[in-house]
Structure 1
Amino acid sequence: MSEVTRAGFVALIGAPNAGKSTLTNRLVGSKISIVTRKVQTTRFPVRGVFVEGNSQVVLVDTPGIFKPRRRLDRAMVASAWGGAEGADAVVHLVDVQSELAVRENRAKAADHRQIEDAQAITEGLKASGHPAILALNKIDGIKRDSLLAVTQSYFDTGAYSEVFMISASQGSGVGDLKARLASLMPEGPWLYPEDQTADLSMRLLAAEITREKIYLRVHDELPYAAAVETTAFEDRPDGSVRIEQNIYVERDSQRSIVLGKGGQTLKWIGQAAREELGEMMDRKVHLFLTVKTDERWAERRDLYGQVGLDFDV
């Protein structure tokens, strides 16, 4: 008699910078979501796949849920809630360090925004009538009494069925969460081959890796005004790959920032992206970057379609 298999979807939702991408990468065991100090780094649902026992779990790393101000914001938030609605289980990730900073009156503006967004998510989950799993993240160095107090305040809302205390960056508690998610998946055949860890095309992943390097290098100077599009992805006879990408910014002053003096910043971005892509694909990568100014790139319908966002929200 063959072993019963399970497969299903888990949506990771939370405020920007709660650590969803870090947790996704930790659960999957490889990098599929970009991680930077910038909030709202993830712009569209990224599906990671992991196997635990006889269960295959498809993680949907959603964009952070926040108060939208522009079309791209609205599309990201709609995508996040859409991912939650269609999932077999929902995990709400909360930055417990920001929560405690607010409670102890030592919070920065970013902490207040983080918790306001987290509370709005709690209200949304409560209204849905489907209890979620609460995951308190960034527990490193936090006293147990403080963690229990935060847990109680969230649990009393009635929006959650259970709670896990984890550190996505260090791995603490992630194994228990992983096992629990696997147990919640419905019976059924696996949805992906056993060795597949992501449902993301290499063209799109390549663009995301370059976007990550841009923010890592110019995170202070450049706001959320950059997009990367892979315009060519060509396998070469020698086994290498040629990738051409456009980097879009809204103003000429931002283009100058990305280029850097004598093109040095763009050179660093290209080299860092090329090296990581080469390691991921285990072959030589020829990467060619072009920086273009387009003040209306965030209004281009085709860019939304490429990453699965709804342009018309």
Structure 2
Amino acid sequence: MDPSSYLLQTEAKDFFRKLWDLQLPSKITITIWWIFWNYILTLVNLRYKRVATNVSCPRCGSGEEDNYHVFRQCPVFREIWSSLNLSWVTSYINQNIGEWLTWVFERSTKEQCWIVCCALWFIWSSWNQFVHERKIISDRDLVKKIRRYLAELEGIREKKLTSFTERTHNQSGETTSSTVQFDVAFNKRNYISASGLVVRDQMDLLKTLKMTLYENISSPFVAEAHAGLEAIKLVISMGLSSAVINRDSKIVIKKCQSQEIDRSVLRAIIRDIQGKITSF
């Protein structure tokens, strides 16, 4: 019943903050999230679900197929880390995959984090191709694919940066704002709500994530208003001079923009929002 029991520890928060900041394709980010929480369908995990009985590694046959074996112990893939000049990542002896990834990210540059994440995604993809399609990809070919994909991502990033630079030059001094987007969940049985906020800069790069829990919330509209106020506070705390705040609650938005005195149950929250808006 204690919401704080579900909060991430500081180390995990730092890891995920770095992961989101890498701006990797969603397919890779989601896969890393699965790997961190040991949600991938290894044979050991399938045995827990009583789907599989034989859990020996289908590639090397020298151990049980869990996430530790797939990504760090299997000799078929250990050579990949060496070829990518990252052989040190396999020296961590703790078998907890989340702690291993946190340890790797703490000691890696941003470019090395890119390589690690892409390598994990390609390793797991090639593993599935072998298990389900009996398609074998050699270590050398897999390393080539990883490096080629990293080059493509770097090219896309440079193209976006060039496009943004040209766009800002064409705006003749017009200033752009950061964007705040938020969403709300409301549990009418327990009168509890939660809001999630995302702040992105002018280049659409992720700057801040925040989640807030509220108790004794009487309606979804109150939850929306609280989340709007939280968004305003976050913008002020970040020291932003301007921001675009996006939300799909038309009722709350109209009340915030209205010059008339609000007389609904939201009036106190709306008054706080309107008062704080004037500061930026």
Give me the TM-score of the superposition, normalised by structure 1: 0.26
Kindly indicate whether structure 1 or structure 2 has the higher relative contact order, using CA contacts under 8 Å at least 6 residues apart.
1
Give me the TM-score of the superposition, normalised by structure 2: 0.28
Which of structures 1 and 2 has the bigger CA Rg? 2
